[in-house]
Structures are given as structure tokens and as C-alpha cells.
Structure 1
Amino acid sequence: MDREPGWSVRLKLTLSYAGFLMVAGTLLLATVWVFLLRYVPEVTTLSPGVRRTPGPLPHMPDRSDLFDAFVWKAAAAMGFLLVFGLLGGWILAGSMLAPLTRITAATRQAANGSLSHRIHLEGQQDEFRELADAFDTMLARLEAHDAEQRRFAANASHELRTPLAITQTLLEVARNDPDRDTGELVERLHLVNSRAIDLTEAMLLLSRANQRSFAPEHVDLSLAAEQATETLLPLAEERGVALETSGDIAPTSGSKALLLQLTTNLVHNAIVHNLPEHGTVWVTTSVRPRTVVLTVENTGETLTRQLVSTLTEPFQRGTGRVRGDHAGVGLGLAIVKSIAEAHNGALTLDPRPGGGLRVTVELPARRRRATSSGLDPRRAAGDGRASTPRRQSLSPAAGADEIAEKPR
């Protein structure tokens, strides 16, 4: 932004210090002058009754003598204070503004694209050092976000290039072999196109979660868990995985669509990344003093903590854990993490001792308000449902219409 040149802060502080010193010196000298005038007469005269002694009369100073003796020395003192105030103020202002100069230099380097530079301002805590520490923290987050965006762009371009390359290959094969059966070609092109669409939709959803472009509304995580498990029950039946849901009403605030997508992604991953036969998925919700918790656990192969720590990265898939046609696009847990962070929550992944994964999402709880009509606040916060804990078991052998709820 172009601005007209003006006085520097250092010069302004210097003039302020010098001006304050001059005002203080003037007031001090004026006080001394008024004090002296009380004891020095305007004109010196001898009283008629005073006896004169032989010899010359002693000199009795009056105000004119005081003026001649005081004013020039006061002017010299004021000049000294002016010079001292300007020089001392310039040095003092430069010393105080030195940290600001380093912060400005770091800001310019960051504006030029150098996010790795840090100020590291030494010394005890004060306003400048607090600003420098906050700026260093901001640079660290920007650098991490920039690196993440670069990795995401590289991975996304690779993932998007793959279906396009496959499509081009299939079309070239069809062009070189006109007598080839087109039915198989169309089916394969349909599968490749569906994967590209799924990948694009997942990337758009991830971008929406990162931008936090949603209006908060009342959401019950337990309802989202029930809806997700019922939706994915056919997939669980196909893979021989039993679904079990239990827990309390878990009221929070956020986007219903995004939180339902979060729950659906977790349950889908738990079904897909499971044992080949007789697998189980546990979906539970709980309430803590300030937060609500959604936990999704599944059976499966034993995972290392090193592998688990990478699963939330975009386009990361657990090697050997995916089977069938539901491998996804590698953005499931990345989307879950972004949605949780967009709702001021946290995502935790832990390997289960017996194999499989435990995923925990913790979100801020919605404040409950007691009503004057005497309704139970838990009932009011849970869309009219009682807060009795419940357990819901969805097994592959039972249809969706045979789901039974019973107290835990």
C-alpha cells in the first residue's frame, strides 16, 4: 500500500522525550525564579533610620541584578537540556524500537515467501517479545500449512492424473482395436469416471471443511451415529461385519451435514478396514463435563503407531488393510480431521491391542439450559429424547427393520 512519507516513530519519540524534558526544565526554572523573587526586592533603598557607616555603601542586589544573573544561566541550562533531550531521546528510542525493527524485517521476509525465518527475540517478557513470539508461532503455522498444501496439491494432481491416464489408455486400446467388445470398455470407463468424481467431491468437501463455511446449529452426535450405521448396514452385511452402537445423547453445535459426513467416514473406514470374516465395529457416544465424544472402534490387523500417525494425511492408506471395491480415495480420515478441527474439536487415533483401530472425536458440548416448564434439560437438549443410555446392535444376519434397542 502506497503512503505519503512521514516522520519516523523514532523521530517522534525523540521529539517527545526532548519536549517533555524542556517542559519539565521550564517549570523547574520558573518555580526557582518565583521563589527567588520573594526574597529579592525590586529596588534596593536604605531606610531613614539606618545609620550610615564610614566607607563605601555595601551593594544590595535587586531584581534587575537577579535577572542579569539568572536568565542567561537559565537559557544555557535550557539549551543543554534541549541538546541532551534530543541526543538521549534518539538513542533511547532507537534502543526501544530495535525489536520492532527485527519484527519488521521478519515480516518483509515472510511477505517475500520466506516462512522459515524466525525472530527468536531474546530477553525478558514484555510487549515486544510477546509480539515476536506470537509472530514466530504464526510463521510456524503458516509454514506447516504451506507444506501441507504443497503435499496435498502434489498428491491431488497425482491422484487425478491416474484415472485420466487410465481413461486415455482404454480409449487408445479401443481405437486400435475396433472389433473389441465395447461393453467391457464402457464398464471400465464408468468405474474410472466414478472414482474421479468421488475424488473430486472428497476434495471439495475437504476444502469446505477447511474454510469453516457453515452456520452452526444444534446437532446430536448419537443421532448422526445411528443414521450412519443404518446407512452403511448393507455394506456391513456384504462384508460380514457386525455393527454395534451405544451411548448417551451427545449434543453439540456445528454443521449437521459435515458432522454426519464425519461419522459416516469413520464407520465406513471401520467396515472396510476390518477382518475378512466375522469383524465387528463399535460406535459409542459419551458426554463429558465440557465435551462430547464419538468413538469408533473396529477389529482388524495389528497396526503400528508409526502407521497410525500417518493415516490422517491426505491420500494415505494403510498398506494391506484395504480389500474389495471400497478402498476410497485416501481422504476419509483427512476429511474427518478437518471437520473436527473446523468444529474446534480434536481427532485421536490409537491402535487396539488385539488388532484394529480406535478413533476418538472430541467436540465442545452444547450448553444445556433448564426450562421453566420443568422439563429435563437433557431431554430438551436431545431433541425431545430421553437421556437413557442405549445399545443398538446391527448384525449381518439382521435386516434394517429388525434393529432392536434395549437399555444398556
Structure 2
Amino acid sequence: MPSFDLLNRVEQFVLTRTFPADASKSSKKVTRAASKHFIYKDGCLWRSYRGRLLRVVRSDQEMREVLTRYHDNNNHAGRSRTIKEIMMMYYWVGVTEAVKTWITACEVCQNRCPVDKPEPPVQFCLAYGCDASSYVNPELSFHRFPKEAEQRRRWLVAAQRDEGSLRTKSCLCSRHFEPSCFTLNEEGQLTLSPDAIPSIITVTVQEDEAVPLDEDFLHPNSLEDLLSTAAETTDVNPYDPAFDSSETHMGLQEHRYSLPAPDPDARAVPTVMEEKRRKTVIEPSFAVYNQIARFLSHKVLPMQSKKSRGSLRRMAKRFGLIDGVLMYTRVSPPLRVPRNREEVNSILQQFHDNQGHYGQGICQRAISKSFYWSTMTRDLAQWISSCHTCLNRTKRKWLRCSVTGCTNCCGPVERGLGLTFHKYESSSYPAG
């Protein structure tokens, strides 16, 4: 049961503004700070709490009466409900712990039928072509992807997936591990070794030709159309530049009801073209920084109007030349100022592309510790918006096909095949 010594000291201080004779310096400090929330009224000590006055319980006997009233005589309410109702009227130090102890010792509450624990969520194997799940295959064990980078990469290679396909609860089933990867623990259960690497890769046989349905042969010209289509397909050279492979993806949908959706990543281009496009983006020039550096080194102003030269002279007070490098000196330590677009692109690549493709906030905070230029926010936003990796990571969603027996999900193999995923529409369900 809780101690009421603090409440006794608070009551003495509120009434007489004195402390017990044996009170220490720290005890006096705590009592004085706590007394700000208490008042003495109608012969009782009250505590102000969220705009209400709660009566302070001062003895074990009174506390037991309150617990009996709000728990035993209240259909043996749960802990949260009991605490909430008590705190509407009463207060003492350690209400939550007292209610918890009281309910633990209650025979009626302990003899109640235990509530069934919710079933664990269904786990699916992330490996391409593997249809294992904890619901259909309860005899299998499922193992989370490791956090160590090199080991996780080797798991992804065996699963035929990439980093973008991983989620917090992604796992592989025990089918992909050799028996030597498991060890027997003290309880007699098989556990996966910490350094285990999956070596069994699921082999999926894919049909090269689409099998026509029976209703396709009901048309009188279906045979001629089929033969003509086969002849046209034979004459097509896949290595011809005029051959567009995107058209073939439209006919390789996994299910007949799948409709080709517009490319959500129309802005994505190959890496070479992406780098070329980044360098050709029209950006504000760095002529002002070059003029400031020239003024600081030679005290020469450009041939401009008097107003422009005055603005440049005032702006130059924020900068300085340190070993021939233009630095922004309004902060400590000074920040380096890039003076051309190639240098800015190199900085953005270093802090974004080479540091895990973080978001704009994290990248800008890291860049601001070493560099400064006026258009940093806009340049970084444009750089991230043209990053092929960030676009795929942002627009990619974790989707899994709901058709029985289909193991396709949003992974690199499915994206390479041009598969798209579509949600069920409520209008498709029959009324009633």
C-alpha cells in the first residue's frame, strides 16, 4: 500500500507553513513544490486536478473503501475504468499502482475465463514464386530478414527481391534454407542460425505462349487470325530499334481481368539520361558569388548601377575569403559557398545519392553544416524529384494478388514483367 507521509507533510505546510522537525533540505523542497496543487477546505485536504477538486485520501482504511466501491461493487470493472472513475472524485499518491495490486488480489477477477488471445497475423514468404503462408502451411517456420546489410543482401538475392520490396515484417519460409541451417535449442525446437543464408531458390516455370480460351475458337475467323498473328510475331526482330518492348508487356498480364494502368513513374528515365538531364536543368547563375569573391580579393566592383554596387558591397560583409575559398562567415564555423552548378551537383550527389537517398529535411540539415548557397532548398527539391530511386521508392506500394494460387506481389520481377495491381471496387459487389 502507498505511503501517506508526503500528504501529511503537505497538509502541515498548507495549514501552518512549517515543516516537520526532522525534515531534510530535499524533503522541504519537494513538499513546498507539491503544496502548490493542494488547498485545505471544510476540514479536508483537496487537490486541484484538471479544473476539479479531488478529495485527498489520508488512510489505508479510506483507500480500501474507495477501491471496494469503485471495483468490487462496480461489477469488478477493469483497471482503466476503475482508475478513471476514482480520479473523478479522489486522489492519493500511487492510485494506479494501488488499483493494479487490488485487482491482482481479487479472487473474482482471477477466476474469470481468460480472454482468448487474438490470432497472430498471417505471414507470407517474400521469395518470388513461393506461395507459402503461415495459414496454409502451419508446419513451416517464417524468419525475418536480418538487419546486417551484407547478410540481408544475400537473402534478397535468394528471394529475387530488392530493398524496395522489404517491409518491417517481411520474412522467408523455412523451405529456402538447408537443414544444416537449423539448430536444436534446449526446448527441443529447431531455430535458425544467426548466420544462416538461404540457398534454395524457388524455380517458377513461365509459359512463353498464351493459351487461347475455348471461346476464342467460336469465331469463324479465329484460326486465320491466330495464324496471321503468329506469322507477324515471327517476323519481328526484338533487337530492332523500332521494336517497342512495352507493347508486349500489355499482352502479358497475369490475369485476364487485369487492365493496363498508366505508368505511374512516367518521369523515370535510365541512369545515363537521368544524369544528363540533371546537368541541363536551368538554374540561377552564381555570378553574384563570383562578383563578391572578386570584390573581396581585388576590391573591384562590376560595372553596374550605383544601387546595385551598394547592394553588392553590403552583401559582401556576410562573406570572407579563407585560403582563396569563399566562405559564409555569419555563422561559426564558416560555411563554404559553391560557385558553379557542377560543384552544387557534386554536393547534392554526395549527401543524397551516396548517403541512402534520405528525404529533403535530413539531407538539407546535413548539407547546412558545411555548405551555404541561397537556392539550396530549391536545388535539393529538384534533385530529389529527379532521382530515379526516390521516385520508385515513393510511388511503390506493397501489393499482393488476392487470386487463389497466385504468388505475385510488388517486387522487381513483377515490375520487370509489367504487371499491375488493382483494388476491388465496392460497386462490383451485388446489392443486398
TM-score by length of 2: 0.20
Higher relative contact order (CA 8 A, sep 6+): 1
**Which protein has the larger Cα radius of gyration, Structure 1 or Structure 2?**
1
Q: Which has the higher helix share?
A: 1
Q: Which has the higher strand share?
A: 1
TM-score by length of 1: 0.21
